[in-house]
Chain A
Amino acid sequence: MEDKGTPVGRRVVLGMLGLGALGVAFGSRAQDGLDSALSQVAGKDPTGLSGLLPGGGGFRIYNVANSVPHRDATDYRLTVSGLVDRKATHTLADLRAMPQTRLVRDVQCVTGWRVPGTPFEGVRLSHLLDLAGVQDGAGAVRFTCFDGVYSESLTLEQARREDVLVALRMQDKPVSTAHGGPVRLYVAPMYFYKSAKWLSGIEVTRDVRPGYWEHYGYEVDAWVGRSNGRHDDPTS
């Protein structure tokens, strides 16, 4: 008696599989719509809870190291080395005393999330390279981080762009530890994995050496909308 009746359970399972397949086929479009709706809500949401929803316009924090490293004005150092005439070590105060540039662009992650209109402020990378004096034969710049794990690199031409910063401020506040503070790289036109957090070393090299995520299949030339098989709107 108990095992007779309508097979509602089977219908629920099959229905969910059908909805799941529809979601995979059309979710990309649905998420685009939700993104714009949610970013409207997030702008007026004092609790910040809407930022936790998928596509809620918030940042997600990715950290590949075992713990979050912490440095501040007392012990932070940025070294410039490699194929340069004048190797240098800058403190946070040194960097703050240099000419500052503020950029407001969208941040686009290669996993899909996008945060609209985010201000970054800091020293142009090209300024630091000019101070050090790049030697002939140099073709690339490699970045290392004081988390001890992460690395990134750019061609010299990319590194000299006006929208590539050594950022000291993000969202008009000093860059927080979670966001890679006190100093992070900001490569406005590329996917956000290029904007290495916890920047501690700039090394001018002959050739590009692939960075951390690029060993796991991400592209070295990570232009937003023109790489990694994605078609996002350009950010810069």
Chain B
Amino acid sequence: MTPRPERVRRFTRGERRVHRATAALMLVCLVTAAALYLPPLAELVGRRRLVVAVHEWSGIALPLPALLGLASRAFRRDLRLLNRFAPYDRDWLRDALRRVPRDRRAAGKFNAGQKLYASFAAGAVLVMLGTGLLMMFPHLSGVVWRTGATFVHDWLALAVAAVVAGHLWMAADDPQARLGMRTGFVTPEWARRRHPRWEYAEPGETGEPGPPDTGA
């Protein structure tokens, strides 16, 4: 048996920066949205035109970190992994619905939940950007479109807030996952337990860690 590496690289520095910048912009969008939308907060904060400007510009900037991240090979590789669903991802979702304990569900570097979250986030950012621009420039479109854009923007905002809260909840529940995003490294024990199909390679290792306990 090959000696186990002390730690496994999960994210490069560039990827972590993309995540951090996206998270910060998303937070600003959500906080300013709340200050515009919830009456008690709107009353407390006031400064409506300033809050609107901060909301608009952080929303426009939201896709930029990921676009810049495309320069990174590691980021592009992870996007491919997030995009593709293997048969075990369907099993993961089915098991998740049946409340099978997480350590007995098969997953690659990203589990099916993370894949769906990432796709939802990407789609939501684009739809919010498009509808937001329609609301910013009402003269470019008719009233019907502007009302439609407001409709989509408002309801999707509620969904985004709920899903991001779920994302934070999952992270709060898994210190190793947070460590991976903060430092870039996780322990091999965690990688095998939570992501048994993850084909990570360490220097000195040929890959194929061959998890003994996938349960799949």
Interface residues of A, Cβ cutoff 8 Å to B: 1-10, 12-17, 19-20, 23-28, 30-31, 52-55, 58-68, 111-112, 178, 229-231
Contact = CB atoms under 8 A, between A and B. Distances in A.
21 contacts: A2-B84, A2-B86, A3-B77, A5-B85, A8-B116, A9-B115, A9-B119, A9-B122, A16-B124, A20-B123, A20-B130, A20-B152, A23-B155, A24-B151, A31-B148, A54-B150, A55-B154, A61-B43, A64-B47, A67-B46, A229-B142
Given A2-B86, A3-B81, A27 B43 contact: no
A10 B119 CA distance: 7
Nearest to A26: B148
Nearest to B197: A2
B151 A17 contact: no
B151 A27 contact: yes
B49 interface: yes
Contacts of B150: 27, 31, 54, 111-112
Nearest to A68: B43
Interface residues of B, number: 54
> Chain A binding site: helix, strand, loop or mixed by DSSP?
loop
Contacts, number: 150
B131 A230 contact: no
B92 interface: no
A66 B116 CA distance: 41
Given A5-B86, A6-B85, A229-B142, A27 B148 contact: yes
B108 interface: yes
B10 interface: no
Contacts of B190: none
Contact of A28 (B48, B49, B151, B154): B151
B147 A27 contact: yes
Nearest to B87: A5
6 closest A-B pairs by beta carbon, nearest first, are: A16-B123, A27-B151, A27-B148, A54-B154, A20-B127, A12-B119
